[in-house]
Structure 1
Amino acid sequence: MKNNWWKFLAVAFVFYSIIGGLLFEVPVRAILNETIRNLYFHVPMWFAMIIVFCMSVFYSVKYLRTGHEYDDLKAIEYANVGVIFGCLGLITGMLWAQFTWGEWWSNDPKQNSAAIAMLIYLAYLVLRNSIDEEQKRARIGAIYNIFAFPVMIVLLFVLPRMTDSLHPGNGGNPGFNSYDLDSRMRMVFYPACAGWIMLGLWIAQIRFRMRKLENDILHQ
């Protein structure tokens, strides 16, 4: 129980951010209006995705160093959860775009880059499932995963800044600052980021335990 305190905190933060995100007062901003509430959901999804993918890369590197099977299982399960959060980030972003930009998908550089990043990680999952031999699958998957992460960072944070973009913080378009993200929003935004990140790590741990049990049963 003592080691599970952060799980209770994760649940508390997520519930608090959902309630606060829907009910608490937000500043009135042109164009955004009430859609600014999506900041509590859209951005934390991407933060959680990046942290979870970081953990996946960490265990891929660790597997290449140790060859331990469980490190490979952790790498794939963290990647699975990262893809889930990435898809949630895309969906919440499309919803926000519909009400602020006027269409679900406007081929904005940030949208396109995010979609390509998700395709790269989906290809990683397909690659692993296409190789039958366990050690070969683990090695190739680990190498692919290690290279996929920096490519994702470039797609999400570098390329969109080099061209015109409607997305805040890219292509000369200013991001959220102290004027937009006031103290009322910070009281919800920061717990939301922490809660979804911890929830993502928790889900990945649960998936790893399930995969480990399945793997142990198959090798009995």
Structure 2
Amino acid sequence: MAASEYPVVLRFEGMNPDQIGRYEVHRLRKGGDLGHIDPNKPKPRRLIGSETWAQEALAEINLMKTQNFAYELADLDRRNRRKDIAKRVVEGPRDPWRASKHGPLREVILTANKEWFEKTASSDVLFDTQREDDFERTAVEWLRENFGDDVIHARADLDEQTYHIHAVIMPRATVERYGKTCAILQPSAHPLIQNYEDAQDSVGAKFASLVSTPFEFSPIVPK
């Protein structure tokens, strides 16, 4: 088969915090669309993040909300804005991100052509896992190099038709508000989320030694 049929695929998708629970249910194979899952294959393998990453992420986001709200109320109190305090108490904490239809988190999906994974680099031997291991190592390196600790979860899906990697990015940032440094979520804080052409170049360079052909880049959401 021609080498050009072995592209690496990179895709970004938007995610809201309230989608994390459903994401976890599917990761654990307890719900969602399971029709394409092969129960005879190994279950997904966790690569980055703890087993309780979802609860930890939601707790951190909730802390951002409550801490920023406390800063806001303290600032209004300092300025003697009693009516505004009463109004904001009724409204409650605001989400610590700019509202958009795509949400503040990003899911990253990395994979390649199924037949590329099934062949070794030097023979036609099928179902050798060396390429999965090499792909996995390279993907984890790329995620850590470009997103650091904001990669709160990554896993390898082994029980579907084609091996692939899912990762979740929680793009932490800070802004000065109410005379304090407030924690927020800001996808554009990461250059590769802000500029998809840069993401394309970055993945192409990182995986060049594995797949020396053009790759498919499928951004789903704008910055």
TM-score, normalization by structure 1: 0.29
User: Which of the pair is proportionally richer in strand?
Assistant: 2
User: Which of the pair is proportionally richer in helix?
Assistant: 1
User: Considering only CA atoms, is the larger Rg found in Structure 1 or Structure 2?
Assistant: 2
TM-score, normalization by structure 2: 0.28
